[in-house]
Structure formats: structure tokens, C-alpha cells
Structure 1
Amino acid sequence: MIQIGIFKFASCDGCQISFFDISDTLSNLEEKVRIKYFVEGQDDNKFETFDISFVEGSVSTPEQENKIREIREVSRYVVSIGACSSSGGIQSVRNFLDYSNLVQQVYTRPDLIKSLEKSKPISDYIKVDFEIRGCPAEKEAIIEVIYSVILGKKPYKPEYPVCMECKRKGNPCVIIFGKPCLGSITSAGCGAVCPSYNRGCYGCFGPVKNPQVETLKELFLSLGLNQDKFYESILMSFNAYHPYIREKL
């Protein structure tokens, strides 16, 4: 019996909702899979030991920093789900600003705020065995991880960019039409959903290894986008604090 825990840190809950979308699949696996901890979805929760711990959200408070270490200690596999957990999320934009000034501007009682200065992915604190990208995480990728643990194999994860998915679908490159697109530096897995509707990729699946950010910036500049626009409106979003991206900023 595979014991599963599903946890939430700083996030919007969207990735956890993906588990409701696969409820039929989980029901069919009831003899092999048991969800022991899922505050969002059940009343009876036990924090004991887990074969798989799925973690949504970034680490943004001291309590969360302690909790993620506890989860690691009792888990066989820890899987980050979604952009917040793997990259710090949109909230990690604060990492590039003056934290004290930001808190003063946003809250009427900043003295009551007990948060960390930076919103970080869980991999900054513990070993993560597998990442499920996306905003939100794709339900098919969650199912892949669960089946892989049951079968004792390594989960499949695309190692190529969204551009490959566009090619397979026969999509014309939206950059040709003057639309900014992060597909060339973004991991595949979404099925190129945005370019398929004539929109540029927003990079919600996170960067590929060694993303060629400077090359893409040069291309964007040729389209009339200045450097500030490139960084602030394009890169500074879902995955601004992913290790592959923050070293480029």
C-alpha cells in the first residue's frame, strides 16, 4: 500500500485541486494507494510516514521552513508540485525588492508579519526527488508519479522545450508574428496550449536546463521590447526564483 501525503505552503491551492480531478483514478487504485494526509480534501489526517509527499507552495514563513524539513524526514519520496513549490512562485518577485520597504507599503501592521524575507522553492531547504511543473500542476504528471512508485520505475519527465511540442502540433512560431514567447527556454509538458491559441508561452512550466536567456533577450529586443520589459514582465513571473533563472537576473 502506497501511503501519500499532500501538503500546502504559500500558494493558491490550484495544484491541490488537481488531485480532485484524478479522484476517479485514485478510487480505482484504492487497494494500492491510501491518502493519509490531505487537509484540503479530507477530515481524518495522520502525519506519520509517507511513501510519497506531494508539496504545493513555496517556503515563505519560519513555520513552513521547519515543516518542510519534518516532511522530508518522514517521506520516502518528496515531490514538488507546481511553480510555487519548484520555483518560488509569483510571490518570489519580492525576493528582488527591498523586503522591509515592501512590508511597510503593503501592511498596516507590519510588526505582525512573521514571514521570511524571500519566498523560495522547497529544493532550497531539502532534497526533492521529483518536480512536477506547471501552474497548476498537470494531473497526468501526478498520475505518472503515483504509477511509477507503484511499479518501481522512474517517472517520465520531458527534457525538451515547449518549441518541440509546437513543432509536433504544426503551430506556426508566434514570435514570427511579433509576440513574445518563452517557449524556447521553458520545459515541455503543457502541450503548447498557449501557442496553440496564438499566444506566447508565459513559462509556467519552468525553465529547461541552461536556458539561453541572453539569446532570447536579444531576439525580444529586436521585436521592440526593451531590457526592463523583458525582465520585469516576462521572466519575473511564475518562475523568477528557479535556480536556472535567478542566476540570470
Structure 2
Amino acid sequence: MQKSLYLLLLPHFIFPTVNGQSGCPGCMTALPPLPEDTIYISPAPGGVAGEYYDGDISFRMPKTTTPVHATDPNTPAGLNISKINIITVANLPPGLHWEASQMEFDPGNQTDGCVKFCGTPLQPGLYEVKVFVTAEVLLISQSTSFSFPLFIAPAASNNGGFAMQNSSGCGAVTVSFQNNIPSLGNPGYSYSWDFGNGTTSTGETPDSVTYNSPGLFPVEFEAVIDTFGY
């Protein structure tokens, strides 16, 4: 039995911080019961590299500096915040975009909002996404940020003969392979792997292979079961 799959590796790009709205409309604000004056951000749903992602986070901005003082004693408590602006979002997985329900908040009237993230993440990993804001207190504008984790799992590819874990990405990518036709200790099985980058193996379960250059790599797998002598 001969099977093949393809690996897609992209050049490593530097993805800049994205400012402003960028094409992910329609987020939904969904908050649990919370104090009126607090800082809260909901967990971000996880995704899979190479698969389309569409996820929302909801948040509540503080009305005063009291919740900020709880985590930063250098900030005096009890001062009213007159305006909060979302400035930018940084450290998103490459391939994702974002759009907020609104960019400017008057905490006296509105503190709740949401952000939608959408697109196809290219690289797996645990990302600490940062949201940068400015807050105006006593006519003085100060910058701050808050962060939340976003996990993108490695992609898996399967064709019946074998499966690949982490089959696409940017920069150097290490791919693991699973043999779906194991011998289970029985004699008469032989295997041949060609990983498309000059690396081959005859092992039943080959070691992981690292791809350092961008390109499309065909992976060939052959399993031969000799039943003549058994």
C-alpha cells in the first residue's frame, strides 16, 4: 500500500501589530455576572493551525481606578476614568485578524464590549495576545495593556496509511508521523518513507522530521505485507 500527503511550509514573515478594525465584524458580548466596577476578559477559544478560526472574547472595562489599584498599588484608587480607547492588538497568531465592537468607551455609560478574531492561523503555539489601551483620568491620558492566552494546536493530516502532526507553518517546522498500518509485532511487514526533503526511513515509526526551508513537500509512504511465507 502506497500513500502520500503534502506538507506546506511558508517563509517566516514578521507580522506587524494590527491597528484598528481589520475585517472581523459581528462579535457577541457574553459576560457572566460581574461587579459593576471591575476588569474582566473572557477566555479565548482555541484553534488549529491551517483551519479557519472564528472566535470572540468579551470584556468589561473599569469605571474607576479601584480595580486597577488591586493589581497595581502605584495607581491610586477611587478616581473616575473618563475615557478608554482600544489602541491596538499585538502578538496574534500569524494569519488572524481582529475587530472590536467599538474602539472608544465612556466608562460612565458603557464598559462592556467584545472582540472577534478571525482568519486561518498559520503557526501553532501558545500566544500571549496583548490589547493596548489608553485611559483618561483627571484629563491625563495613560497607556496600559492587558493580555490573554490563545492556544493554536498543530494541524493533523491523515490519509489512511499514515498521519502527520503539525503539517504546515512558517519558518522551521518539526513534523511527527504516525503509521496507521502497524505490524503489532507480526512478521512480514516492511516500510518505506520518503519525507520529500531528502530524508528517508524504513522504520515502522519514524523519528520526527524538521523542515527548514519553505516549499511544498510530498511525503511518500509504502507498507508491504509479505503473507507468502507466513
- Fold equivalence (TM over 0.5): no
TM-score computed with the length of structure 2 as normaliser: 0.20
More strand per residue: 2
TM-score computed with the length of structure 1 as normaliser: 0.19
Bigger radius of gyration among the two: 2
More helix per residue: 1
